[in-house]
Structure 1
Amino acid sequence: MAAPLANLKILDFSTLLPGPYATMMLADMGAEVLRIEAPDRVDLAKVMPPFDGKFSTTFSYLGRGKQTLQLNLKQPESVEKVKQLVQDYDIVVEQFRPGVMDRLGIGYEVLKAINPKLIYCAITGYGQTGPYKDRAGHDINYLAISGVASHCGRADSGPPPMGIQIADVAGGSHHAVMGILAAVIKRQETGEGAFIDISMTDAAFALNAMAGAAALAGGQPQKPESGMLNGGTFYDYYQTRDGRWLSVGSLEPQFSSRLCDTLGLGELKSYALSQKPEHQQELKAAIKQKIAERSLAEWREVFADVDACVEPVLTIEEAAEHPQLKARGMVVERDRGDGQLQRQLGSVLS
């Protein structure tokens, strides 16, 4: 897309990951983002290793396409500067605990009085209301409270610490962007601004989707390795001879049939479609044994032309070189903040 948000100006008061990721997405789509940085309060994303050049790789990535202005928001002159800026800006994004911006004198009501068309997005762990609104938390806590962690992982070892920040990014960042863009559309129609209250816990709870729909409608509570998609069936990861992993997602009949034929397990095709746990476990054990007989490279060659929803588990470095991701432009070179180019994750929407 050719900078569809080029007419939007955003004041970004957020730090760490959820807010900066959201404003990075908006900047990738052309928005002008001014990041307000506290001179006396270090953003942990800025000093979190590894480093590449002056800044951490995380900070360089999240900061792309943005300008920075240092303001000590505890100083009256900085507060006045924000009030001046907001006259000319469309959107404010902040990630403080509820009430902090009000105490600084630049909360929603104050800024709205200056710019009635302002769209103000507050991203917090638990939202602006409720008994947990002032409680500290991190991604792992939001996944725990929202029920997501309860049906992930293995039955004998419990939920895994995830390698990505699900509640922060898939929850907070993406829902913030959706809320902001919805408010922009509404403002175009009505001329009115909006206050957007994003709770990462709310967003994580909504991510339960299929499992949540079943549970709330009176279905059986889902536990690790008990459902179709969380290890209770042959839909799973399998270790290869060289200690790597292969993903098998061959749920539909045409895919499971090809899987069984390719592995020499034709006699177990009916088990792939069975809802009996013992059939699924027998098929799963057979697949496990077969996959362990060859290396990942060998299995990649075997399944290269087999349309069966079977793919290798790649490292991030390997994924960056995968022909599909390369063809989609998902690795880009961008200024890392000091004039030097850095390879970064590309934007899904740009």
Structure 2
Amino acid sequence: MTASEAPRATIDERPLAGIKVIDLSRQAPGPYCSMLLADFGAEVVMVEPPGGSTRAQATSPEWELESDERVAGYAALRRNKRSIELDLKAERDRQVLRSLIAGGDVLLEGFRPGALKRLGFDYESCKELNPRLIYCSITGYGQTGALATTAGHDINFLAYSGLLSCLAGATGRPAIPLNLVADFAGGGLMAALGIMLALFHRQRTGAGQAIDVSMLDGVYSLLAHTASMFFARAMDVRQDRYFLAGGLPHYATYGCRDGRRIALGGLEPWFFEALMDATGRPDLRQADSDPHRHEEVARHLEAWFGQRSGDEAMELLGPLDACIAPVLSFTEAMELAASRGMAGPVDGYPQIGVTPRLSVSPGRAAGRPPRRNADGGEIRRELGLS
């Protein structure tokens, strides 16, 4: 099943139908947040600055998906949205934004603290236009504090959070987990959650509110489980010591003869025992609970996998039901995603599908992203400002 074949709901059936979102954000966390809202029915208007940029190329008539990886990435987050160009330094365009805010439900922005206040669009100013407005700000370090106005990207937020040091093995060089943790999970997902909570609160009280989403705070929240272990032991968490970061030989990846890698996640004793039996070392069945034998287990597994191809290893171990998986290439991963309806063409445009899957009111993905200002004229007419 492709993404286009997934169950679809009409606009009126989707949970956020009728919710109007004004998206002033630029970098990945904001557009990802508004994409999630749009997938489930919110009417998202992207307010974009006039002129072009690398990201703007994604919406030009000449744009091709394969032309620029960064362009394609930003284009993917534009689905299900409308676009209008506004110069917020021009009074005429500021009036358009005021009208959008007056009739909107959510304003999403990702500027440094204080930037929108200088333009007259901070929360207090917008609240005067619309007391029911939910005003969500996504920044790296929050609206207050010593780091509030400090520039940063995902890697910087991870550095301050302590996560990068957790991913540093014996070499001391941390692995960098793309920009998924701070940007998308700590930023975009937390913003979407905050907006949903604020909408629920408004439904009960009629009042809007401001939401301060700090990507650093979002990563702290994601580290709740890890931090609890630090609080208990009062010791640093490192990749070569922490059991969920590769510190155990049976929660790690191993290279095969053909260069493929296999991921092991057998933390529970019965999974570990099955793995040791299947790889010919039943004498190591109890070694998972003995740190002094972990090096022996690692040497055994390295040798066992190194003598076999990835396919051979999976053929032998796959049936065990012992938390074993091949490390897929991205091409292979997208084939698996397609088989689940989570990747495929929509109107000829390849996309990741929509999640979570609601049984009665599912979201849906639209086709190609809108060109910049594609809806500018229509939006102005709807506001009576054409």
* TM-score, length-scaled by structure 1: 0.92
Output the CA distance in 2 between the equivalents of 1:262 and 1:211: 31
Please name the residue that 2:83 is paired with.
Answer: 68
**Paired letter, 2:276:** C
Alignment of 1:193 onto 2:208: yes
Provide, for residues 14-72 of structure 1, a one-character-per-residue CA deviation record: whole Å limited to 9, x for no partner: 11200000100111111110001101363647569x95178821122100000000001
Q: Is the 8 A contact 1:10 1:89 kept in 2?
A: yes
TM-fit CA distance, 1:260: 1.0
Task: Tell me which of 222, 225, 236 is aligned to 2:240.
Answer: 225
> Which blocks of at least 5 consecutive residues in structure 2 are unaligned?
1-7, 357-362, 364-386
Tell me the SS of whatever aligns to 1:136.
Answer: coil
Output the CA distance in 2 between the equivalents of 1:164 and 1:330: 20
Q: How does 1:245-324 map to 2 (within 5 A)?
A: 245-274=261-290, 276=291, 278-322=292-336
Structure 1 residues 72 and 98, CA gap change in structure 2 (3 angstroms): same
Output the CA distance in 1 between the equivalents of 2:75 and 2:170: 39
Structure 1 residues 217 and 348, CA gap change in structure 2 (3 angstroms): same
Task: Tell me which of 9, 17, 23 is aligned to 1:12.
Answer: 23
TM-fit CA distance, 1:220: 2.3
TM-fit CA distance, 1:165: 2.7
**Paired letter, 2:185:** A
Q: Is the 8 A contact 2:29 2:187 kept in 1?
A: yes
Between the two structures, name the one with larger relative contact order (CA 8 Å, sep ≥ 6).
2
Please name the residue that 1:129 is paired with.
Answer: 144
Structure 1 residues 193 and 31, CA gap change in structure 2 (3 angstroms): same
Task: Tell me which of 40, 44, 52 is aligned to 2:65.
Answer: 52
Structure 1 residues 176 and 45, CA gap change in structure 2 (3 angstroms): farther
Please name the residue that 2:103 is paired with.
Answer: 88
Q: Is the 8 A contact 1:16 1:43 kept in 2?
A: no
TM-fit CA distance, 1:167: 0.4
Please name the residue that 1:345 is paired with.
Answer: 352
Q: Which moved more, 1:236-245 or 1:188-197?
A: 236-245
Q: Is the 8 A contact 1:90 1:117 kept in 2?
A: yes
Tell me the SS of whatever aligns to 1:229.
Answer: helix
Q: Is the 8 A contact 1:158 1:224 kept in 2?
A: no
TM-fit CA distance, 1:343: 1.3
Identity of aligned residues (%): 38
> Which blocks of at least 5 consecutive residues in structure 1 are unaligned?
336-340
Output the CA distance in 2 between the equivalents of 1:127 and 1:79: 25
Tell me the SS of whatever aligns to 2:322.
Answer: coil
Output the CA distance in 2 between the equivalents of 1:213 and 1:304: 33
Output the CA distance in 2 between the equivalents of 1:238 and 1:46: 41
Alignment of 1:334 onto 2:341: no
Q: Is the 8 A contact 1:16 1:44 kept in 2?
A: no
Alignment of 1:42 onto 2:53: yes
Q: Is the 8 A contact 2:168 2:238 kept in 1?
A: no
Q: Is the 8 A contact 2:55 2:75 kept in 1?
A: no
Structure 1 residues 294 and 317, CA gap change in structure 2 (3 angstroms): same
Output the CA distance in 2 between the equivalents of 1:327 and 1:47: 27
**Paired letter, 1:342:** Y
TM-fit CA distance, 1:218: 4.2
Q: Is the 8 A contact 1:97 1:124 kept in 2?
A: yes
TM-fit CA distance, 1:273: 2.7
Q: Is the 8 A contact 2:140 2:214 kept in 1?
A: yes
Please name the residue that 1:165 is paired with.
Answer: 180
Output the CA distance in 2 between the equivalents of 1:317 and 1:123: 32
**Paired letter, 2:15:** P
Tell me the SS of whatever aligns to 2:345.
Answer: strand
Structure 1 residues 233 and 44, CA gap change in structure 2 (3 angstroms): same
TM-fit CA distance, 1:261: 1.4
* TM-score, length-scaled by structure 2: 0.84
Q: Which moved more, 1:19-28 or 1:264-273?
A: 264-273
The alignment yields a C-alpha RMSD, in angstroms, of: 2.0
Output the CA distance in 1 between the equivalents of 2:46 and 2:54: 12
Q: How many residues align?
A: 340
Task: Tell me which of 220, 244, 268 is aligned to 2:260.
Answer: 244
Q: Is the 8 A contact 2:28 2:74 kept in 1?
A: no
Please name the residue that 1:338 is paired with.
Answer: none
Output the CA distance in 2 between the equivalents of 1:284 and 1:165: 29
**Paired letter, 2:341:** G
Output the CA distance in 2 between the equivalents of 1:326 and 1:134: 41
Output the CA distance in 2 between the equivalents of 1:51 and 1:291: 42
